[in-house]
Amino acid sequence: MERKRIVALWSFCTLLAPAATLAAQPDLPALVAQTSKESRACIACHQKEADPVVVQQWAQSRHAQAGIACFECHQVDKGRPDGFEHFGQRISAVVTPKQCGECHPDETAQFEASHHAQAGQILGSLDNVLGDIVEGPPAAVSGCVKCHGSTVKVLKDGKLDPATWPNEGIGRINPDGSKGSCSVCHSRHTFSVAIARQPESCGYCHLGPDHPQEEIYAESKHGVTYRTLKGQMNLDSRSWVLGKDYSAAPTCATCHMGAAKGVAETHDVGTRLSWTLRPEVSIHLPNWRQKRDEMKKVCLNCHASDWVNNFYVQYDDVVDLYNSKFGEPAKAIMAKLQAAGKLGPSPFSQKIQWDYFELWHHEGRRARMGASMMGPDYVQWHGFYEVAKDFYSRFLPEAEALLPGVTADVINEPTNRWLKRGLSKEDRAKIQEFYQKRYGE
Mean pLDDT of the region 295-318: 98
Q: Give Cβ neighbours of residue 153 (< 8 Å, ≥ 6 apart).
A: 160, 161, 163, 164
Residue 23 confidence (pLDDT): 54
Q: Are residues 218 and 256 in the same domain?
A: yes
* Per-residue pLDDT tens digits for 107-139: 999 999 999 999 998 877 999 899 999 999 999
CA–CA dist 187, 193 (Å, integer): 9
Q: Which residue has the higher pLDDT, 43 or 16?
A: 43
Residue 391 sits at the vertex; the CA angle it makes with 389 and 396, to the nearest 5 degrees, is 130
Q: Are residues 230 and 334 in the same domain?
A: yes
With beta carbons less than 8 A apart as the criterion, state whether 143 and 151 touch. Answer: no
CA–CA dist 370, 383 (Å, integer): 8
Domain boundary residue among 138, 168, 183?
183
Q: Are residues 179 and 218 in the same domain?
A: no
Q: Are residues 382 and 298 in the same domain?
A: yes
CA–CA dist 34, 130 (Å, integer): 51
Q: Are residues 157 and 230 in the same domain?
A: no
With beta carbons less than 8 A apart as the criterion, state whether 142 and 162 touch. Answer: no
**356 is a domain residue:** yes
Q: Are residues 268 and 396 in the same domain?
A: yes
CA–CA dist 244, 375 (Å, integer): 27
Q: What is the DSSP string of 174-193?
A: -TTS-B--THHHH-TTT--H
Which of 104-108, 336-340, 379-383, 418-422 bottoms out in mean pLDDT, i.e. has the lowest? 418-422
With beta carbons less than 8 A apart as the criterion, state whether 90 and 76 touch. Answer: yes
* Per-residue pLDDT tens digits for 139-193: 999 999 999 999 999 999 889 999 999 999 999 999 999 999 999 999 999 999 9
Q: Which amino acid is at 329?
A: P
Residue 84 confidence (pLDDT): 95
> CATH no. for residue 349?
1.20.850.10
- Nearest 10 degrees: CA dihedral of 43, 49, 55, 56? 140
DSSP letter (8 states) at residue 325: I
* Per-residue pLDDT tens digits for 379-416: 999 999 999 999 999 999 999 999 999 999 999 999 99
**245 is a domain residue:** yes
**59 is a domain residue:** no
Q: Are residues 281 and 352 in the same domain?
A: yes
| Mean pLDDT, the chain, integer | 93
**109 is a domain residue:** yes
Q: Are residues 336 and 282 in the same domain?
A: yes
Rg (CA), the chain: 26
pLDDT(281) > 60: yes
What is the phi/psi pair of residue 259, to 5°? Answer: -85, 145
Residue 124 confidence (pLDDT): 76
List, in sequence order, every residue forming a beta bridge with 151; answer none if it has no partner.
173
pLDDT(4) > 80: no
**196 is a domain residue:** no
**34 is a domain residue:** no
* pTM for the whole structure: 0.91
Tally of domains in the chain: 2
Q: Decide: helix, strand or coil at residue 308.
A: helix
**379 is a domain residue:** yes
CA–CA distance from 85 to each of 21, 70, 286 (Å)? 42, 15, 46
Q: Are residues 272 and 359 in the same domain?
A: yes
Element (H, E) at 283: strand 283-284
Which of 16-25, 82-91, 258-267 bottoms out in mean pLDDT, i.e. has the lowest? 16-25
CA–CA dist 75, 100 (Å, integer): 12
Mean pLDDT of the region 204-231: 98
Q: Are residues 253 and 333 in the same domain?
A: yes
Q: Are residues 226 and 360 in the same domain?
A: yes
Half-sphere exposure (Cβ direction) of 8: Cα atoms closer than 13 Å: 5
What is the phi/psi pair of residue 236, to 5°? Answer: -95, 5
Residue-number span of the structural domain to which 176 is assigned = 96-183
Q: Are residues 130 and 234 in the same domain?
A: no
**418 is a domain residue:** no
